[in-house]
């Protein structure tokens, strides 16, 4: 029982460290390309942004893509983007990922490619999925490991 308690506390410290590490990180100077080759910069449109880090091999991530697609097409006061890291952490290489992703036929999801893992490292992303709340100035306010439901995502932006 003592070992289980230590394991639980260790996991909680790791998760809390991930949340704290992302606070106040300035993403406004980060520019990534999406799967269509278009550049994206955080905070350039003056809207807060929900960011979902995910991987093609993660079943929890894949099960949440339909909600992300639906949320992306809704009229709202925040933007929705997702980030994958082709060629890193077991992810497909860039061209293989693009081909695979296009076969899924999601029409509304903006998928950014963090090919060098710079954004993932900056925010200390250690698990998939991980969500990040970015304010309108492009600063990460919260890093939240694990899956968030559509209603939970909306609540982060309604409270602003």
> Phi, psi at residue 82, to the nearest 5°?
-125, 155
**39-41 β-sheet, strand order:** 25-26, 139-145, 130-134, 49-53, 79-84, 111-113, 31-34, 39-41
In this prediction, residues 70-76 reach a mean pLDDT of 94
At 119, list the tokens.
């954004």
Split at pLDDT 50, 70, 90, the class of 5 is: very low
* Prediction pTM value: 0.84
Question: What is the arithmetic mean of pLDDT over 5-20?
Answer: 45
pLDDT band at 64 (very low <50, low <70, confident <90, very high): very high
Query: Which band of pLDDT confidence, cut at 50, 70 and 90, is reported for residue 158?
Result: confident
pLDDT in tens, 85-117: 999 999 999 999 999 999 999 999 999 999 999
pLDDT of 2 reads 53
Domains, the chain, ordered by start = 26-36+45-154 (3.40.30.10)
| DSSP string covering 3-22 | HHHHHHHHHHHHHHHHHHHH
Q: Residue 114: its pLDDT value, please?
A: 98
As a whole number of angstroms, the distance between CA 42 and CA 46 comes to: 9
């Amino acid at each position: 029982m003592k070992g289980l308690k230590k394991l639980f506390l260790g996991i909680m410290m790791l998760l809390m460290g991930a949340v704290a590490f992302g606070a106040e990180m300035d993403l406004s100077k980060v520019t990534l390309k999406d799967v269509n080759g278009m550049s994206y910069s955080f905070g350039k449109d003056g809207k807060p942004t929900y960011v979902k880090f995910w991987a093609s091999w993660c079943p929890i991530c894949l099960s949440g893509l339909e909600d992300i697609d639906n949320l992306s097409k809704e009229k709202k006061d925040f933007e929705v983007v997702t980030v994958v890291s082709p060629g890193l952490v077991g992810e497909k290489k860039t061209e293989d990922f693009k081909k695979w992703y296009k076969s899924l036929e999601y029409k509304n999801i903006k998928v950014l490619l963090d090919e060098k893992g710079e954004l993932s490292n900056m925010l200390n992303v250690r698990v998939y999925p991980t969500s990040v709340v970015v304010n309108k100035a492009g600063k990460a306010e919260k890093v939240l490991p694990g899956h968030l439901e559509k209603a939970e995502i909306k609540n982060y932006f309604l409270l602003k």
